[in-house]
Amino acid sequence: MKNYPLFFAGFLFFSATTLALENANPTQAEVDQRVQQMVPFALDQTLETFTRTVHGGVQHLVAKSPDNSRQVKLIQDHLIKIANEFRNGDFSVTERIHGADMPGLAQLKTAKTDDIKIEYEPLPNGGQIHYSTEYPQYVQALHEWLDAQAKEHGNDVIPEHIKHHTTPAE
């Protein structure tokens, strides 16, 4: 029993570390709750996917029901807004949802206006943002950021969109 205090101290350390890690990595439910407070559309009526490309990646956000014109309009307005913010180096929405230590975010925030090309495109059922750059450090940051987005939001399957991004040329 001489080792009991040492065992107890180790247990407390492990428990505190585990709790800190759990709080540092929000669950998808926590992320969804934060997102729903910040976006105009209904999350349960949308599908979102994050796809890597050679030069960055693509974020798709579409209405589950393509004839739900209200949700489609809300999605498009939201994507236009965040694309404009990202172009100006403002990643505050992402930071509020995912935290300042989100993978790739710190590097993306160092990019100058023309370092990363951010293009919004409307789709009949929503929209997409295409992120691309020729700078390897920003490609890496975009990949880390997209992977973190996919992990925390989930990465829905949108079959009609994946075919657009299967070629290495993108």
Q: Output the pLDDT for position 39.
A: 78
Q: Which residues contact 160 (CB under 8 A, 6 or more apart)?
A: none
Please answer whether residues 95 and 105 qualify as being in contact, where contact means their C-beta atoms are separated by less than 8 angstroms: yes
Q: Output the pLDDT for position 151.
A: 85
Beta bridge partners of 130: 58, 119
Residue closest to 45 by CA, chosen among 2, 75, 23, 11: 75
Q: Output the pLDDT for position 35.
A: 65
Per-residue pLDDT tens listing for the chain (170 residues): 565 554 444 444 444 444 444 445 556 666 667 666 777 788 889 999 999 999 999 999 999 998 999 999 999 999 999 999 999 999 998 888 778 899 999 999 999 989 999 999 999 999 999 999 999 999 999 999 999 988 876 666 665 555 544 444 44
Residue closest to 51 by CA, chosen among 129, 103, 104: 129
Q: Output the pLDDT for position 78.
A: 94
Q: What DSSP character marks residue 43?
A: G
Q: How many CB atoms lie within 10 A of CB 98?
A: 23
Q: How far apart are CA 127 and CA 120, in angstroms?
A: 7
Q: Please name the helix (run of DSSP H) or strand (run of DSSP E) that holds residue 94, with its range, or none.
A: helix 92-98
Q: Output the pLDDT for position 17.
A: 41
Q: How far apart are CA 48 and CA 123, in angstroms?
A: 13
Q: Output the pLDDT for position 20.
A: 43
Amino acid at 87: R
